[in-house]
Structure 1
């Protein structure tokens, strides 16, 4: 390409495109100026408002206004430099502007940046192919011919920033137009720094003062009220500044109370020291005044003495000094003793029970500052003393808490009685001997202890039978007795309700009677009880047969789980299966333990009801119950533990031990089942023999009756048993 062509391309680019760069640069600087104005203008408005508010509220002197003016001026100068002058000093190169345009129009592909760079320098200073450079410049010129470079700018943000800056200027103009006098005074005091005073519009008068002071009781509330003087405006806010003789110091805003005249009030709660105050509101400031505090009579020491009822045989005692809450036994006498901080003219003891307050009468004067009073409360109550000092002040105040004595009255509890009858079911025979284990206890001593038995009907109060070995006034008493049913005249068909009972020495609201939970029995024949026990054994044996089948299934599953696993997934499944089998074995042990308890209960009932014998002990005790207990407590938990170990570690010894133990358990359970079946057959034979003997006795009695009627001609006194 010739030199003339190169100059023509570049000249056209400089004439058509570069001026648009200059226009974009000017627009950017204008927007930067708008950004700076958006910061500086509101800052100036805020500075005007803040200095106006501070100066008007606190009436700053000349030195404080100098410091304020220099501080504000320094901040504004820094804002103007940072947000207005400094951004305008930044040089905007053509390539930088081209970069901004390329961001908005990425399809230019960087040609505009290259064209701006080469068009800004003479052709001789450029390196590379002149034709290629001219081609790039020409492409960039043609590509941007229809583009608006200002589209690369955020016009909406610029408009928002311009609006914000103008709003600040408009705000300052509005202040000048709406309050020219106030703004003129502000300008003289805070800009020209002249000693011009703000005009006074407010004046406050403190009410209730006598010789410049207000007298209140110590600990009470002190209400300070300041009214607006006639002819003056009410300030928008009023503050009270105060400092006490001790640690009280500070200031607080006073709430406004509407009315004629307007008042501002403040309450000192629980005031305990003399306070010097002054009130400031608007441009008003009162003369200093004081709040003088004097003491109400108060209790400095308190003590509660308690005399328990005589039947407890406890000595009188006193609680530690300062403890004002007590728990006493019903019938106790309490003595409330106090000491006061000043001489007392009169003192009355008041009692509050359930919200009903009553005066009990004057307290006994033990000294100039010591008093006491007594009472015997029938219910829980709260007490306080109503004191009147020699100054005429009382200790009654809604804001000062009274020293209250709280006495909770607890009635004497009935003796605690427990009774256990081991080995007896709800059915017993007349030959039964009940092992009754009794425990009696009472905090203050037992007056009596005995066994009570009756028919179990509500109208039957029972027959009391003292327990041998009991000593009155004992606090605890334990006794195990053997109670014979036959010795107490009970026969078949009767019902027996039996419980342990004790009384205490309570002569205030008692005596209190403590009873154990009654045990109720039905008295039946030996044959009926034997049949019942045989029926239960039959049910327990059926349950045991189910558990035996489950044990055999568990043994079969264990053998299946011991087969070698060839893959990792199979080994994991085998481990999970073994752990599940261990859990099943533990469940099986729990179920077998239940069966063992059931057979032990049957054996215990047989012992209690005189149905046991050496053969019964051998067959049912050592042949069934004891092996079941051994299985559930020892062998089954042990094999479950072995299966768990086998699941965690594939060891041949564990596998052999688990297999052998499972086989032994299964064999033992089969042996136990065989003994159960043998015992059932024997029992069925015995029951059948008893039935035959009963039938034989009945036939004999009927024969005797018939002979007496037919041969002797006499009528028997009673019909034979059917």
Structure 2
């Protein structure tokens, strides 16, 4: 066959093949539309059947799953038979022509397939010249091709079949869509039950709803009793009873009747649960959606710690609230950090605060949270945790952090040895005690003179100072060492400080940097003679101390002790009067001792021993009190410089020391002897009487010395008065002489 003829025949073949392929594509479109119509109709039918059956029979989940499997099998077979199998048929162009020949009649009836075969197959056939003429082959192909050009293959397809199939598909889609629009709640419930596996029941005249159920789960705190509330809605007859069946994972099965709280309101108290349980409820003609009770841990604090650092303190304070920490208080300006850890992941921390504390907590991770703030006052927090997984809330956890006040120092000033009436030359021992809760910075002793002061007389023994104003000494010497070995205050005035008028301040401690001392006790003496005061004036003594508070130094002042300055004679008379009263008390004790001696002579040890001991102890106690007061009056005379050294030694040697020896020796031995009278081995009465006689003799001597003391003191006072008169006359003479000399030089 010539190449030109072969090329022509190939073009005719390809043109015809393309026409038949287009027909094959259209046929498959028909197959697809018909298959989809069948499949959509089947789905609608299955949905309708399942809706009716489930509405009427309230099918269980296993029954619904079985029906879905059966329906899926049928739909899959129908999908394969009506859609996939026709689409997968291997149709060649010649098969398409044969299919058209089998289904239609017309001009090409019975001859369409043979013509198509001639055009499609002869161009590629090997022509043997001995058996077939090439010219005849070319002629046959051209002729059949011309005849097929006038044949419309697509005209043989049934367009009505295509439109009916598409309409069936549209109807199958419109039916469920319209139903969903008309009854959305029913469609949604069918979807949930058949496609999402929900067990929510179909609505009937009785609707049962369990409060708190979400997605078939009811979360309750593990190990805690929980109240269950069920709401029942009736459109017809009111439901009187609702039952509940609870099946736990450990095999327990229990059916209970719920308590009717009110119309449409049923309650039940769930016991503490540790394992999950499946629950179903029913009542009237309705059923509640089956749900699962899942006990989960309620969020709680596993640790709650507070760390605090004050700018003045290097160490970090730590408080553990979970370890039973007591009242926690912080100083102002303390940098505080409150941290806690929870047992489960937490989604939210709700804080209700009262005070100046933190407004919220920052999450470190889902179990650790922290809050930082600067403490300015009392903090009250109430914290509630919300669990991330369960949504359970913790019990409110109160936290209270108080304010620790840096209190001002406490200052105590005590005087000893003298009373509030002193002479102008008195020495007043004082003890200053200062305490602070965090640290003392300084302390001072203040002395103030009320009223005008008069200069003291000039010392005539120093001619260099004659006619000049005296330089008074500092009224308060340096504080003495408070240790017992040197606790006695010095009575020598110091001349290191210049004279001052009005208030005088003497440092007693500090200033200390840093202030770390919490307690300071200092002993010193106030020298009244250095103040140049006169009778009728008053001297006030008080102490002032400062701490080193971080927010500002705080001062505190002791009570003010005011001493009245009186004349020497006036105070001497008061002291002598008290000593005379003490002598009268000692005289009475002496008489009681004499009476006790007489009673001992006629006493019976068995019956009178206890009474003798009691009387003796009372009298001895009185003697001890008189001895202490006589010693105190002697010290008061020394400090006020009354009477002089000779009178002080006289009182000490004739009264105070004998009284002290009497108490330490005879009185103590007599007490021990009288105590044996109430035992099984009493001391002999003769020895007791002999010792009692010695005691009375000693008291008699002391009383006689006190009588001589009064007379001696009177003589000394008279001599002192004469000396003072002479001193006054001498000063007046010296003043007159000085004025005369000055007048001569002035002229």
Give the distance between the partners of 2:291 and 2:267, measured in 1 at CA: 16
In the alignment, what sits opposite 2:669?
Answer: 638
- Give the C-alpha shift of residue 411 in structure 1: 0.5
Q: C-alpha offsets along residues 489-535 of structure 1, whole Å, 9 cap, x if unaligned?
A: 43322222223332111132x42234444433212222222111111
In the alignment, what sits opposite 1:678?
Answer: 708
Q: C-alpha offsets along residues 211-254 of structure 1, whole Å, 9 cap, x if unaligned?
A: 8763335687621246899979979xx999989779x9999998
Contact 1:585 1:636 in 2 (8 A): no
Matches within 5 A, 1:527-538: 527-538=569-580
Equivalent position to 1:504, from 543, 547, 555: 547
Contact 1:244 1:273 in 2 (8 A): yes
Contact 2:208 2:282 in 1 (8 A): no
In the alignment, what sits opposite 1:126?
Answer: none
Q: C-alpha offsets along residues 152-209 of structure 1, whole Å, 9 cap, x if unaligned?
A: xxxxxxxxxxxxxxxxxxxxxxxxxxxxxxxxxxxxxxxxxxxxxxxxxxx9989546
In the alignment, what sits opposite 2:379?
Answer: 381
Q: Is residue 493 of structure 1 aligned with residue 536 of structure 2? A: yes
In the alignment, what sits opposite 1:427?
Answer: 421
- Give the C-alpha shift of residue 547 in structure 1: 1.4
Q: Is residue 484 of structure 1 aligned with residue 527 of structure 2? A: yes
Q: C-alpha offsets along residues 523-575 of structure 1, whole Å, 9 cap, x if unaligned?
A: 2222222111111111111111111111111111121215xxxxxxxxxxx52
- Give the C-alpha shift of residue 587 in structure 1: 1.2
Contact 1:639 1:658 in 2 (8 A): yes
Equivalent position to 1:558, from 589, 597, 600: 600
Give the distance between the partners of 1:443 and 1:280, measured in 2 at CA: 71
Give the distance between the partners of 2:254 and 2:403, measured in 1 at CA: 48
Q: Is residue 654 of structure 1 aligned with residue 687 of structure 2? A: no
Contact 2:446 2:506 in 1 (8 A): yes
Give the distance between the partners of 2:256 and 2:736, measured in 1 at CA: 118
Q: 1:280 to 1:261 in 2, by over 3 A?
A: closer
Q: 1:469 to 1:288 in 2, by over 3 A?
A: closer
- Give the C-alpha shift of residue 337 in structure 1: 1.8
- Give the C-alpha shift of residue 595 in structure 1: 0.6
Q: Is residue 222 of structure 1 aligned with residue 216 of structure 2? A: no
Contact 1:240 1:252 in 2 (8 A): yes
Give the distance between the partners of 2:542 and 2:359, measured in 1 at CA: 50
Q: 1:645 to 1:428 in 2, by over 3 A?
A: same
In the alignment, what sits opposite 1:318?
Answer: 318
Q: 1:634 to 1:245 in 2, by over 3 A?
A: farther
Contact 2:353 2:359 in 1 (8 A): no
Look up the SS of the partner of 1:335 in the other structure: strand
Contact 2:443 2:545 in 1 (8 A): yes
- Give the C-alpha shift of residue 673 in structure 1: 0.6
Contact 1:350 1:359 in 2 (8 A): no
In the alignment, what sits opposite 2:81?
Answer: none
- Give the C-alpha shift of residue 264 in structure 1: 4.9
Q: C-alpha offsets along residues 644-684 of structure 1, whole Å, 9 cap, x if unaligned?
A: 31343475x52122111111111111111111111111122
Give the distance between the partners of 1:434 and 1:527, measured in 2 at CA: 19
Q: 1:274 to 1:452 in 2, by over 3 A?
A: farther
Q: 1:477 to 1:213 in 2, by over 3 A?
A: closer
Look up the SS of the partner of 1:499 in the other structure: strand
In the alignment, what sits opposite 1:352?
Answer: 354
Give the distance between the partners of 1:314 and 1:561, measured in 2 at CA: 75
Matches within 5 A, 1:137-148: none
Contact 1:217 1:294 in 2 (8 A): yes
In the alignment, what sits opposite 2:505?
Answer: 464
Give the distance between the partners of 1:334 and 1:384, measured in 2 at CA: 17
Contact 2:357 2:375 in 1 (8 A): no
Equivalent position to 2:308, from 302, 306, 309: 306
Q: 1:359 to 1:501 in 2, by over 3 A?
A: closer
Give the distance between the partners of 1:527 and 1:555, measured in 2 at CA: 41
Q: 1:523 to 1:272 in 2, by over 3 A?
A: farther
Contact 2:296 2:390 in 1 (8 A): no
Contact 1:364 1:371 in 2 (8 A): yes
Q: 1:378 to 1:362 in 2, by over 3 A?
A: closer
- Give the C-alpha shift of residue 624 in structure 1: 1.4
Give the distance between the partners of 1:261 and 1:243, measured in 2 at CA: 25
Give the distance between the partners of 1:586 and 1:240, measured in 2 at CA: 89
Contact 1:586 1:636 in 2 (8 A): no
In the alignment, what sits opposite 1:83?
Answer: none
Larger Rg: 2
In the alignment, what sits opposite 2:408?
Answer: 414
- Give the C-alpha shift of residue 421 in structure 1: 2.8
Equivalent position to 1:624, from 651, 655, 669: 655
Contact 1:234 1:262 in 2 (8 A): no
Give the distance between the partners of 1:204 and 1:251, measured in 2 at CA: 20
- Give the C-alpha shift of residue 280 in structure 1: 13
Matches within 5 A, 1:586-625: 586-611=617-642, 613-625=644-656
Contact 1:328 1:407 in 2 (8 A): yes
Matches within 5 A, 1:111-122: none
Q: Unaligned stretches of 5+ in structure 2?
A: 1-205, 452-500
Look up the SS of the partner of 2:684 in the other structure: helix
Q: 1:425 to 1:655 in 2, by over 3 A?
A: same
Matches within 5 A, 1:207-246: 207-208=210-211, 214-216=218-220, 222-225=226-229
In the alignment, what sits opposite 1:543?
Answer: 585
Equivalent position to 2:336, from 331, 334, 337: 334
Q: 1:701 to 1:607 in 2, by over 3 A?
A: closer
Look up the SS of the partner of 1:361 in the other structure: coil
Give the distance between the partners of 2:433 and 2:357, measured in 1 at CA: 47
Contact 1:348 1:359 in 2 (8 A): no
Q: C-alpha offsets along residues 119-170 of structure 1, whole Å, 9 cap, x if unaligned?
A: xxxxxxxxxxxxxxxxxxxxxxxxxxxxxxxxxxxxxxxxxxxxxxxxxxxx
Contact 1:297 1:393 in 2 (8 A): no
Contact 1:305 1:319 in 2 (8 A): yes
TM-score by length of 2: 0.54
Give the distance between the partners of 1:517 and 1:550, measured in 2 at CA: 43
- Give the C-alpha shift of residue 589 in structure 1: 1.4
Q: C-alpha offsets along residues 237-287 of structure 1, whole Å, 9 cap, x if unaligned?
A: x999989779x9999998763x43584543668x77646779999xxxx99
